[in-house]
Amino acid sequence: MTNQTDFATQTGTERYAQRFAHLAPDHFRARYGLQMSSIGLGTYQGGVDDTTSAGYVESIVAAVERGCNVIDTAVNYRHMRSERDVGAALAHLFATGLAQRDELIVCTKGGFLPYDGAPPEDRLGFVQARLEELDLAPLEMAGGVHCIAPAYLSQQIGVSLTNLGLKTIDVYYLHNPETQLQYVTPDEFRARLRTAFERLEQEAADGRIRFYGIATWDGLRVGRNDRRFLPLSQLVEMARQVGGEKHRFRFVQFPYNLGMLDAVTDSNQPFERIVDGKQQKLMLPLLAAARQLGLVAVGSAGLMQREVLDNVPDEVMEALGGWETDAQAAIHFNRSTLALTTTLVGMSTPGHVRENLRAAERVGIDAKVFWELLKE
């Protein structure tokens, strides 16, 4: 059994937000009873070494001290070291009283087969051992790298809880589920996804996760005719079928930055609604569809490892101007996007944390200005 101190709560996240009243009033956004910071810390980048790990631990602590309460990781990032670094930072924050568990929204992902600290010398032997351990058929491990079988997901949630030092994960994402479509038919994929959702609903009922969702790179952004395409409306309907109206499928994550704007510019997501008794069939951009479906949208690759800063027209950066750095301007643009709750930014040094979180000091740009910038 869990208690209210084992996960992020409305009371806890509101308490946390109140400590940062000096930041922009739109920095914290209310979603499903949680106050979520508009800038979150991502942990994908970096080497598999002690120096990088020490930097992450310091950075996570620094970010929480400066108004960032969304922390994102994955069991396979840096061969599990990123999750363990998050766990070390959380332990320090809780032990020192710098933060409480109910104030922080901890998100992780499962699906890819993770290595433990370093790649094994015998990769095929490693995969075979995992299959035997969980009594999985070889075909359930798509391509030998990706699995969403119920038993596998439950085992991976347990691994993540241990790495993080937590009793409950706030948001658990299926990591790039479209990977499966490289190896199985669409019908088989839907069947696998349904059983995965059933297991995640049970994990939520058991208290090991609070919410679940999908974190994708391509699946939500590509065109409808692309084999990897994931229609959001069908995913939500699947969640309703297995979990009822109070299902826990509430989060979606996808890349979004100044160089990857298709979530607001490309109308690739089908959406149906009833207006005046008549059914309307629409095509909406990803962010608009997520909003209509009641999903919390989280943008990954907020700076695309800073590559995006080299490809943005000077006039756009000037229009976002008044910032000390281009990174701050780019993050400010992201967090100004309507319906995007949180933009994730990789921050593995305290210096980057201090620089990037300055972007939370100003209210987002006006919607009219935002759309004018898109035309640039």
Instruction: Give the pLDDT confidence of 212-236 residue by residue, as tens digits.
Output: 999 999 999 999 999 999 999 999 9
Beta strands in the chain (DSSP E): 28-31, 34-37, 39-42, 70-72, 105-110, 169-175, 209-215, 249-255, 269-275, 278-284, 296-300, 340-346
Give CA angle at 236 (153, 194), nearest 5°.
Answer: 40
H or E stretch covering 216 = none
* Fold type of domain 4-375: TIM Barrel (3.20.20)
Number of residues written out for the chain: 376
Confidence of residue 178 (pLDDT cuts 50, 70, 90): very high
Residues 347 and 59 sit within 8 Å (Cβ to Cβ)? yes
List the beta bridge partners of residue 29. 36
Arithmetic mean of pLDDT, 39-60: 96
DSSP 101: G
Confidence of residue 1 (pLDDT cuts 50, 70, 90): very low
DSSP SS3 for 308: helix
Tokens 């800063």 belong to: 309
Least confident stretch, 250-264, 293-307, 331-345: 293-307
Amino acid at 68: C
pTM for this model (two decimals): 0.96
Contacts for 50-55 with beta carbons within 8 Å, 24 or more apart? 52/78, 52/81, 52/348, 53/81, 53/84, 53/85, 53/88, 55/348, 55/349, 55/350
Higher pLDDT, 164 or 280: 164
What is the chain's mean pLDDT, rounded?
A: 94
Rg of the chain on CA atoms, in Å: 20
Give the Cα separation of 21 and 140 in Å (integer): 49
Contact predicate 258/330, CB 8 Å: yes
Structure confidence at residue 311 (pLDDT): 67
Is the pLDDT score of 284 beyond 60? Answer: yes
Measured CA to CA, the distance from residue 125 to residue 193 in angstroms comes to 27
Domain locations in the chain? 4-375
pLDDT attached to residue 240: 98
Does position 47 have pLDDT exceeding 50, yes or no? yes
Residue 108: beta bridge partners?
A: 172
For residue range 347-368, what is the model confidence (pLDDT) as tens digits?
999 999 999 999 999 999 988 8
Alpha-carbon span 100 to 108, nearest angstrom: 19
Percent of the chain's residues with pLDDT above 90: 86
Q: Tell me the mean pLDDT in the region 321-330.
A: 87
